[in-house]
Amino acid sequence: MKILLIYTGGTIGMVHDANTGSYIPFDFENLQAQIPELNQLDCKLEIISYEPSIDSSNMHPKIWVQLGNTIEENYHKYDGFVILHGSDTMAYTSSALSFILENLNKPVILTGSQLPSGVPRTDATENLITAIEIATSQRDGKPEVPEVAVYFEYQLYRGNRTHKVNAENFEAFESVNYPSLAEAGVHIKFNRRYIQNVNDEKLIVHKEFNPNIGVLKLFPGITESTVKSILLAPNTEAIILETFGSGNAPTSKWFLEAIKEASEKGIIILNVSQCQGGSVDLGRYETSKALKDMGVISAFDMTFEAALTKLMFVLKNSKDADRRIELMNTNLQGELSY
């Protein structure tokens, strides 16, 4: 088994320097010497380290595509891939990669850590070792997890179902609307009924995103000027409307007129709930029925991260308005339950 480890940046790639008291980059060339437990894994590990390393706050669609290119270039050389990434935007990258890597049939496991390597109680070592072990796991000669996934603190989640929920706890991620793909204890238990099946199609790597998207998060007391400045901003092709509960929004005349004006200009408006769990159900209440009548579309139970990256992907891959809506309503990579 051959695994390619791709280090992009993040806390997991840092160690504490006792001389300066600061954190410095990990020596990935001597990774197995620094983490001898890796030598017990039944795989050959090779490493690519992005230079300069990328703080996850600086993550960008161009880097998502770069990761896609790296995997494409090495796809037939390795049995699986492990990406080390800062945790803050990991859910965005894992969601984006699920759309970039069409017909993926090998593991692409993202992981990171809350504490740097080498410090007391670090989670870096366990996360790294188990992510690699998952990437090497096979059953009947086929990979256990032939999809993009996030491993963190004993749980493996589908990449486009993952959301960071805590900045301090080791249990940093959750997948509220979809079960975990695996749980690591004494043994790794795979929940096979929830994992994508291996396919025999050729890998297709999509290499462009359209970021001309605005985000309008509703709150009690939001003003007309705020709403219009976001809905009608120049070059905007789509809006993510973060609504209350199951997709509800104000019924004020000025608000609905602003939504209608944006929709009539051809701007796609995607309704995403501010709740982490549950689904948008347009028309369930009167406060969302008007949105549905104006052509606002539902994100169903997608995470914000999946909705955003999917929208960027769809906008770039189709210019036709009806086709864009059709794709947003279609379960492309297991990102929604409908």
Tokens of 140: 């009947």
Q: Is the pLDDT of residue 15 over 80?
A: no
Domain layout of the chain by residue ranges: 2-205, 213-328
Q: What percent of the chain has pLDDT above 70?
A: 96
Q: Is the pLDDT of residue 107 over 90?
A: yes
Band (pLDDT 50/70/90 cuts) for residue 30 is low
The four Cα atoms 91, 97, 99, 100 give a dihedral, to 10 degrees, of 160
Q: Which fold has domain 2-205?
A: Rossmann fold (3.40.50)
Let me know: does 44 contact 31? Beta carbons within 8 Å.
no
Residue with the two structure tokens 């509220």: 176
Task: Identify the pLDDT of residue 35.
Answer: 75
Q: How far apart are CA 309 and CA 259, in angstroms?
A: 22
Let me know: does 336 contact 235? Beta carbons within 8 Å.
no
Band (pLDDT 50/70/90 cuts) for residue 172 is very high
Catalytic residue among 8, 11, 111, 243: 11
213-328 classified as CATH 3.40.50.40: yes
- Write out the E strands in the chain: 2-7, 14-16, 23-25, 44-49, 80-84, 101-102, 108-111, 138-139, 142-143, 148-152, 155-158, 163-164, 173-174, 182-184, 188-190, 204-205, 213-217, 238-243, 268-273, 297-298
Task: Identify the pLDDT of residue 20.
Answer: 78
Question: pLDDT for 265-297, tens place per residue?
Answer: 999 999 999 999 999 998 887 778 889 889 999
Q: Do domains 2-205 and 213-328 have the same CATH topology?
A: yes
Question: pLDDT for 305-325, tens place per residue?
Answer: 999 999 999 999 999 999 999
Task: Identify the pLDDT of residue 53.
Answer: 85
Question: pLDDT for 198-221, tens place per residue?
Answer: 988 999 999 999 999 999 999 999
Q: How far apart are CA 22 and CA 58, in angstroms?
A: 21
Let me know: does 11 contact 117? Beta carbons within 8 Å.
no
Let me know: does 100 contact 205? Beta carbons within 8 Å.
yes
Write the DSSP symbol of residue 75.
T
Residue 11 bears catalytic tag: yes
Q: Is the pLDDT of residue 51 over 90?
A: no
Segment 166-176 mean pLDDT: 93
- Considering only residues 35 and 33, tell me which one the structure prediction assigns the higher pLDDT: 35
Alpha helices by DSSP H, the chain: 31-34, 61-74, 90-100, 124-136, 224-231, 253-264, 286-293, 304-317, 321-328
Residue 61, CB half-sphere, CA atoms under 13 Å: how many? 18
